Amino acid sequence: MTSHPDGPVLEARGVSVRFRTRAGEARALDGADLRVRAGEIVALVGESGSGKTTLARTLVGVQRPTEGQVLLDGTPLPTRAKALAPFRRRVQMVLQDPAGALNPRHTVYDSVAEGLRLHGLSQGADGRGEEQQVADALSAAGLRPPEPLFLRYPHELSGGQRQRVLIAGALALSPQLLVADEPVSALDASIRGEVLALLLSLRETLGLGVLVVTHDLGLAWNVADRTAVMYLGRVVEEGPTEQVLTDPQHPYTQALLSVVPEVEGLAPQVLRGEVPDPTHVPAGCRFHPRCPALADGRAEAAGVAAACRGTALPVLPIAEDGAHRAACHLVTPPG
Amino acid sequence: MSAEARVEPGAPVLAVEDLHLTYVTADGDVPALRGVSLEVRSGEVLGLAGESGCGKSSLASTVLRLQPASARVSGRVLVSGEDVLTLRWGALRAVRWAGASIVFQGALHSLDPVQRVGHQIEEPIALHEPGTSPAERRRRVAELLEQVGLPAARARAYPHQLSGGQRQRVMIAMALACRPDLVVADEPTTALDVMVQAQVLALLSELVRGSGVAMVLISHDLSVLGQMSDRVAVMYAGRVVEQGPASAVLGDARHPYAAALSGAFPRVGDPAARFAPSGLPGDPPDLRSLPPGCPFAPRCHRAAPTCAEAEPALLPLAVPSGPTSAAGPAGPAGPAGPRERLAACVRLEES
């Protein structure tokens, strides 16, 4: 909506993350492309095991890619921990489960000031002292007035307040981009709306770019400009949220939407089984063993059934024009 | 001991009447349930909604008298006509599993990590039907696993070898092991992915429709309740504040709290929800020191000075379409009370 074409851009290009396990090599991420611009909220959705959290961790530099690159404003992320510090200041992560992510023995003040101290920013470049910076961050996260909260401990706060303290900790460093992993899944329905409204207002007032990792399609509909759907380590569909969620192209996205209680009027297509084990990524299209379009003959009728079973799909590239795309032989027939 | 026809047709399998539950803690008494009346018939799903701490799970555990021994309880909980709260121990054990069973939230923590799942499913059968042979019990376990969509060979698996969805299926198989009349499912899909959640919900609704079990489904997710339930009760601060047919309560909630809760789950595709997440400011009240009058008033956008005067009773709503009952508003504990469309808000009568 209010994306800033000149603002900072965080990109993953062909990022793979492989882990060696006893069962063989697990491809947690298998060539994923994704872009988040300042002033834009992008939702990354998928089931557990789809690789969405691994992609988020790679984008903030916590997980090093086995292949591919993460770029901030076109500059690849350094690999040395020390060189990463300035990057980490600009791209902050907000963890899920605020009850577990805050140190129970740290006051709100210390939790928010910790990042400033780690980065040696307690005396801000703009002349604001630590206390002022903490107060500003808490206010920006909607905890106003901030001073009465300084000496509180996490157990004295409500779930919504704790989530705001975590967000304040990230905001204290004046980042340009936030990566939030399931920011509301541990919260009650009533608090959920408040935290989402906060993300929207941070985008408006600070021009922040936000990547929200979630399994909740209603959340994507509520706040995201763009939505990317992941399956087994890859982005399989991406585009403007209105198009992806109301006119899904990939059979996986279609199935996912059909079973969400928040969507009406679609015949539910309950897929059998679960996301396959990433040590055994199926050949051809990685979704083909569960694909309803292959099972009901639509792929056969379109003449792509053989390709679904045998021809791997290329990585879905970042669309320069912001178009809606899907990695599916039915959508873009091979050859 | 198993489910013989103890219930007359049409009679409720579960009837909760004016149930009060107070936890006695070092910090004072916590009234977790403050006069709850509900009923569920066979083949029917009652959805129970509300925020953390509203009393949903307290109600679930009290149905099987699993509340802490120190808690004070009053009222009646009739499972197939028997009052669970006054039963003697032996009779209570017969009701647990065979009369009613619970699917707890968090299957990982509710299963014994060092026992094979087949053994865990078998245990209640062995306890309740001591006459069965081991071979027969194993056959029952295999049947139950297949009924919940797992291969019978999974009986030999340990919980850690199963995925979250599979563990939840094992929990459901356990709950069905003694063919209960009533299943209480406490957040059965909360930790699961959308697709696995859809699988588990489809399984649960098949079981209810197929076998005529009555079910209480507890969830904070109203969209799940809307999909699964025949009727929905919304709880706040230990009381039911609105109750009625699922489509009416979720599509056209009258109590301001129920309306805020249903607004928090947007419908994908609804233009009004784009970039407009709806929430409810404030936190649930501290049960130790409830405000005078309506406990929701401090968070309510419609609150008026009268709201702080007395706690509103749960009263039948005038239904605009269809004939209104000639008897007029009956008391909340009236004989037909729990089945009507009810709401507890004084502002509804004024508008």
ipTM of the complex: 0.82
* CA nearest to A148, candidates A102, A100, A133, A157: A157
What sections of chain B are H helices per DSSP? 56-63, 89-94, 107-110, 117-128, 134-147, 164-176, 194-211, 222-228, 246-251, 256-263, 346-350
Q: Encoding tokens for residue A292?
A: 């309803």
Residues on chain A touching B271 (C-beta within 8 angstroms):
none
Whether residue B240 contacts residue B38, with contact meaning beta carbons closer than 8 Å, is answered with: yes
Q: HSE on the CB side for B260, CA within 13 Å?
A: 25
Q: Would the CB atoms of A222 and B273 count as touching at under 8 Å?
A: yes
**Average pLDDT in chain A:** 89
Largest CA distance in chain A: 68
What part of A 184-203 touches B (C-beta under 8 Å)?
Answer: 188-197, 200
Domain layout of chain B by residue ranges: 14-286
- Nearest-CA neighbor of A175 among A227, A211, A149, A151? A211
Q: Is A9-102+175-326 a domain of CATH 3.40.50.720?
A: no
pLDDT in tens, A279-299: 889 999 999 999 999 999 999
Which residue(s) pair with B308 in the sheet?
Answer: none
Confidence of residue A23 (pLDDT cuts 50, 70, 90): confident
Edge-first strand listing for the sheet containing B14-25? B28-40, B14-25, B72-79, B82-83
In 10 A of CB A158, how many CB atoms?
16
* Chain A residues in contact with B164 (beta carbon < 8 A): 48
Under 8 Å between Cβ of B245 and B230: yes
Superfamily holding B14-286: P-loop containing nucleotide triphosphate hydrolases (3.40.50.300)
Residue that is written with structure tokens 């059965």 in the block = B188
Contacts with B264 from chain A: Cβ below 8 Å: 189-190, 192-193
Q: How is residue B178 written in tokens? A: 């003694």
φ/ψ of B308, rounded to 5, equals: -85, -5
Interface of A with B in 45-84 (CB under 8 A): 47-48
Paired with A179 in beta bridges are A93, A211
Are A107 and A151 within 8 A, CB to CB?
yes
A125 Cα to chain B: minimum distance (Å): 34
Q: Dump pLDDT digits (tens) for A231-256.
A: 999 999 999 999 999 999 999 999 99
Query: Would the CB atoms of B266 and A48 count as touching at under 8 Å?
Result: no
- Tokens standing for B254? 């009258």
Helix (H, G, I), strand (E, B) or coil at B24: strand
**Nearest CB to A158: which of B199, B269, B283?**
B283
Residue B73: the pLDDT is 95
Which pLDDT belongs to residue B1? 40
Instruction: Render pLDDT for A51-81 as a digit per residue (tens, 0 to 9).
Output: 998 999 999 988 899 999 999 998 998 878 7
Residue A321: pLDDT band with limits 50, 70, 90? confident
Residue-wise pLDDT tens digits, A196-226: 998 999 999 989 999 999 988 989 999 999 9
pLDDT per residue as tens, chain B (351 positions):
444 444 455 679 999 999 999 999 888 899 999 999 999 999 999 999 988 889 988 999 899 888 888 999 999 999 988 899 998 888 888 888 788 888 877 666 788 989 999 999 999 899 888 889 999 999 999 999 988 888 899 999 999 888 888 888 899 899 888 889 999 998 888 767 778 788 888 888 888 888 889 999 998 888 889 889 999 999 999 999 999 999 899 888 999 999 988 888 888 888 988 998 887 877 788 888 898 899 999 989 889 999 999 999 999 887 554 443 434 443 333 344 557 899 999 888 765
Q: What are A87-140's pLDDT values in tens digits?
A: 888 999 987 766 778 899 999 999 999 999 998 888 877 888 999 999 999 998
CB contact under 8 A, A193 and B280: yes
pLDDT of residue A263: 72
pLDDT at position A78 is: 85
Is the Cβ of A277 closer than 8 Å to some Cβ of chain B? no
At residue A126, the pLDDT reads 81
A189 closest CB neighbour out of B196, B220, B227: B220
Judging contacts by C-beta atoms under 8 Å, the chain B residues touching residue A160 are 283
Which residue from B177, B183, B103, B166 is spatially nearest to B143, judged by alpha carbons? B177
Q: Which residues contact A183 (CB under 8 A, 6 or more apart)?
A: A94, A96, A163, A167, A195, A196, A199, A212, A214
Q: B195, B203, B274: best mutation site toward chain A, by most A Cβ within 10 Å?
A: B195
Helix residue ranges, H only, A172-240:
189-206, 217-223
Q: Which amino acid is at B169?
A: R
* C-alpha span between A10 and B206 (Å, rounded): 46
Look at residues B65, B61, B54 and name the one whose alpha carbon lies nearest to residue B30: B54
Scanning the structure block, which residue is given the tokens 């320069």? A320
CB proximity list for B26: less than 8 A, separation 6 or greater: none
Which residue numbers of B have CB closer than 8 Å to A's CBs?
A: 51-52, 163-165, 193-199, 202, 220-224, 226-227, 260-261, 263-270, 273-281, 283
Q: Which chain B residues are Cβ-neighbours of A257 within 8 angstroms?
A: 268
Which chain B residues have a beta carbon less than 8 Å from that of A242?
274
Residue B198 confidence (pLDDT) = 84
* Separation CA A126–CA A19 (nearest Å): 43
| Least CB–CB distance from B268: residue in A158, A193, A263 | A263
Q: How far out from the chain centre does Cα B207 lie?
A: 16
Give which of B84, B110, B81 is closest to B95, Cα–Cα.
B84
Contacts of B199 in chain A (CB under 8 A): 270
**Model confidence at A266: pLDDT above 90:** no
